[in-house]
A = this chain, B = another copy of it.
Amino acid sequence: MNIDEFDARIRAVPNGGVTSAQGFMAAGVHAGFRKDPKRLDMALLVADEVCPVAGTFTQNRFCAAPVTVSRAHLGGVGYGMARGVVVNSGNANAATGGAGIAAAHETCDIASQVLGCEPEQVLVSSTGVIGQILDIEPFEEGIPAAADALSRAGGSDAALAIMTTDTHPKEYAVTYESQAAGYLGSTFTVGGCCKGSGMIMPNMATMIALITTDAPVRPETLHGLLRSAVDQTFNRVTVDSDTSTNDTCIMFASGKAAPMLDPIDEGSDAYQELERAIYVVCEALARGIAADGEGSTKLVTVTVSGAATPQDADTAARAVANSPLVKTAVAGHDCNWGRVAMALGKCGVAFNQEDVDIDIMDIPVCRGGLTVPFDEDEALRRFEAPEIVIAADLGAGDAQATVWTCDFTHDYISINADYRS
Contact = CB atoms under 8 A, between A and B. Distances in A.
Interface of A: 59-63, 92, 94-97, 129-133, 198-199, 201, 203, 240-245, 322-325, 328-329, 331-332, 334, 336-339, 341-346, 348, 351-354, 356, 366, 368-371, 408-410, 412-414, 416-421
A362 to B, nearest CB: 19
A273 to B, nearest CB: 35
Contacts of A418: 332, 334
B336 A420 contact: yes
Number of copies of this chain in the oligomer?
Answer: 2
Given A62-B353, A97-B354, A334-B420, A371 B131 contact: yes
B420 A130 contact: no
A337 B132 CA distance: 11
A346 B60 contact: yes
A241 B324 contact: yes
Nearest to A409: B413
A382 to B, nearest CB: 16
B95 A242 contact: no
A328 B413 contact: yes
Contacts of A348: 59
B338 A130 contact: yes
A324 B239 CA distance: 10
Contact of A334 (B329, B332, B337, B419): B419
Given A241-B323, A334-B420, A339-B130, A96 B370 contact: yes
Given A95-B338, A332-B418, A353-B62, A242 B325 contact: yes
B199 A342 contact: yes
Nearest to A349: B61
A2 B247 CA distance: 50
Most chain B beta-carbon contacts within 10 A, residue among A60, A61, A203, A328: A61
B414 A95 contact: no
Given A95-B353, A342-B62, A417 B371 contact: no
Given A61-B344, A96-B371, A130-B342, 15 more contacts: A60-B342, A61-B352, A62-B369, A95-B341, A95-B353, A95-B370, A131-B341, A240-B325, A241-B241, A244-B342, A245-B345, A324-B324, A324-B412, A331-B413, A332-B417
A370 B337 CA distance: 44
A63 B338 CA distance: 11
A414 B409 CA distance: 8
